[in-house]
Structure 1
């Protein structure tokens, strides 16, 4: 985990890979819980037997499940003291390869921009490259926005 002492320190890190998260395993239980939470019970995710005969040979995680791990990736990769942190949204998201159940994922976090916002905060634009262990192709590439206030 990387610790950044102040919001001011972030400005010098624009354009750099700042941190890499811990690995997170995508289990069938996690996929099933996500399906229950979102109502997305498509067979490719939750019907193990049918998915084995499907195009990927196994059940795969929902793309939005992969994306929803973003807070956990940041939590394990970066410690930045601030009084408030707000998810401000996404600019771009691509799900570039499937995530078979049993895969491990982690995120490489590159700071693309650090712009001041009212009330003494900064808006951070991050490129999150979510990689699957053992794969050359990322599972997801997302440009995510956060606002932090000292």
Structure 2
């Protein structure tokens, strides 16, 4: 059920898709904020859903023991480079905390950022994608 979808990749690419959605709204402060908050809430909902269903994820430990979800694919096979993401107990909590903190940061900055709002929100979404990548990446060496 859970292995049919690349949930970990979605956690990383969803904020980057939000950056693309913000491109037409670069100078529109009123419309850019709800789009960024919507992306943040989607990320929070997905991570909360993963947290709520971790008991169903436990039997999926076939690839790597100790991990709830693993995504592994060859990226550049000639050099032995692989795309490997994994979700264990501590990274699940860190992903949930990151998505929650990001939503709080967006709400706190709602009225504070007056200029270059689109740039600020794009950089925030990019930062969230990077942080999610740090917590989910397995092959860092």
Same fold (TM over 0.5): no
- Structure with greater strand percent: 1
Q: So what's the TM-score if we normalise by structure 2?
A: 0.23
Of structures 1 and 2, the one scoring higher in RCO (CA 8 A, sep 6+) is 2
